Amino acid sequence: MKMGWINKSWVKVVFHVAAWIIVFSLPFLLRRYPAVDTPKDPDERGFFLVNNLTALLWIGVFYFNAYILTPVFIYNKKYLYYFLIVLGLFVVIMTVHSWLFISLITGRGFLLSRSIGFNIPPFMLAIAVSTAYRMIIDKNKTDKLLQQKQEENFKSELSFLRSQVSPHFMFNVLNNILALARLKSDQLEPTIFKLSTLMRYMLYETDEERVSLQKEIDYLNSYIDLQKQRVGGKVELDVHIPQAEAYQEIAPMLLIPFIENAFKHGTGHIKNAQIYINMSVAHDTLNFVVRNRYDASETNESKDRTSGIGLANVMRRLNLLYKEKHDLLITKEDGWFVVSLQINLV
């Protein structure tokens, strides 16, 4: 539920007015009323006016300290100036208070020491609360700006990682098209059409934070079809990717690097080349497994310089998008490279 209305100016004004009404009402709500036969104090009305008019000064102290003194002097560590101004402010308030007392209460003499002792607690309370209020407000603003900055950095990093995935994929597919052109294959035209479909998805669908899982599955199947044209019958392929439910969503271009890696390092001069791809979704948890044979004797020098970029990127994206909602296990054993990924899609 959206709560944007709470930040509107008029709502803040209403909250402040309501808070001051409550503060001013407390003395009347908590006061002990005298017995019926108790003589009425002739200066009762005068004390009422003096106390309430003085209380209005605390409102001025509160906002003057919150919006001027604290940011100008406390934040800049000018504590001596701050203390002197606060002391001067108290002297001004006591001057006004004494004038009100003398003007409105005629039956009693004004005692400065008693008046100071009576007014110091509310004055200090107004200063302390207004300082804390200003610091809390500024801390919330700082945290909000930091969060916005982190979100922008998060989006920028995801865009950068996604842009690294796309050229790698394009490089592989264009090589496929080049091979088909050299062979003058009848599959060239449908391959180019399928590539244009994939590019449309990459350019116009993947800017969203989430896409339909079925669209991602269609993308994977199209990519696998293109790779089948390249490897022909040289690789034993076992692919099981079922249809997804309409409501299921996933981050775009998240699974393709694992399949790319399988075709990149599980084909070519690999003996008995085999690639298994299996996906299932149960209870909104996606299970994705890719297995391919690899050449264990292949040295680091003989590898493509871009080897591992796709996997490194997708691992980074998983940590950004599904930090506590995924489990990735990559193993090499008995000539098999195995990727096992579970993602909570909710």
pLDDT at 17 over 80: no
- Residue (of 312, 210, 303, 221) closest to 265 by Cα position: 303
Please report the pLDDT score of residue 248 as a whole number.
92
CA distance linking residue 278 with residue 290, whole number of Å: 7
Task: Let me know whether 17 and 128 are in one domain.
Answer: yes
Give backbone dihedrals phi and psi of 317, rounded to 5 degrees, phi first: -65, -40
Question: DSSP secondary-structure letter at 135?
Answer: H
Residue that terminates a domain, selected from 93, 124, 145: 145
Question: DSSP secondary-structure letter at 7?
Answer: G
Per residue in 158-172, pLDDT tens? Answer: 565 555 555 655 776
Per residue in 118-136, pLDDT tens? Answer: 888 888 888 898 899 899 8
Task: Let me know whether 10 and 139 are in one domain.
Answer: yes
Please report the pLDDT score of residue 83 as a whole number.
94
Task: Let me know whether 196 and 301 are in one domain.
Answer: yes
Residue that terminates a domain, selected from 96, 130, 145: 145
Tell me how far apart the terminal alpha carbons of the chain are, to the nearest angstrom.
Answer: 18
pLDDT at 282 over 60: yes
CA distance linking residue 101 with residue 110, whole number of Å: 7
Residue that terminates a domain, selected from 95, 120, 145: 145
Of residues 226 and 45, the one with the higher pLDDT is: 226
Residue 197 belongs to a domain: yes
Task: Let me know whether 231 and 317 are in one domain.
Answer: yes
Residue 158 belongs to a domain: no
Per residue in 232-265, pLDDT tens? Answer: 778 899 999 999 998 999 988 889 889 988 988 8
Q: What is the CA radius of gyration of the chain?
A: 37
Please report the pLDDT score of residue 68 as a whole number.
92
Of residues 27 and 125, the one with the higher pLDDT is: 125
Cβ atoms of residues 340 and 291 within 8 Å? no
Per residue in 172-181, pLDDT tens? Answer: 678 878 877 8
Average pLDDT, the chain: 79
316: number of Cβ within 10 Å: 15
Sequence-ordered strand ranges (E) for the chain: 211-212, 236-240, 249-250, 274-282, 285-293, 326-333, 336-344
Task: Let me know whether 129 and 206 are in one domain.
Answer: no
Task: Let me know whether 323 and 195 are in one domain.
Answer: yes
CA distance linking residue 36 with residue 156, whole number of Å: 75
Confidence of residue 32 (pLDDT cuts 50, 70, 90): low
Please report the pLDDT score of residue 185 as a whole number.
78
CA distance linking residue 275 with residue 82, whole number of Å: 74
Of all residues in the chain, the percent with pLDDT exceeding 70 is 76
Of residues 213 and 93, the one with the higher pLDDT is: 213
Two tokens, residue 172: 């592989």
Return the CATH number at 227: 3.30.565.10
Please report the pLDDT score of residue 99 as a whole number.
86
184: left (phi > 0), else alpha (psi -120 to 50), else beta? left
Which residue range forms the structural domain that includes residue 125? 4-145
Please report the pLDDT score of residue 202 as a whole number.
75
Task: Let me know whether 207 and 134 are in one domain.
Answer: no
Q: 36, exposed or middle or buried, with CB in 10 Å at 0-12, 13-18, 19+? A: exposed
Cβ atoms of residues 160 and 312 within 8 Å? no
Please report the pLDDT score of residue 88 as a whole number.
93
Specify which of 9-18, 221-230, 325-334 reaches the highest per-range mean pLDDT. Answer: 325-334
Q: 134, exposed or middle or buried, with CB in 10 Å at 0-12, 13-18, 19+? A: buried
How many structural domains are present in the chain?
2
Of all residues in the chain, the percent with pLDDT exceeding 90 is 22
Mean pLDDT of 56-63: 86
Confidence of residue 308 (pLDDT cuts 50, 70, 90): low
Cβ atoms of residues 235 and 268 within 8 Å? no
Specify which of 45-54, 289-298, 322-331 reaches the highest per-range mean pLDDT. Answer: 322-331
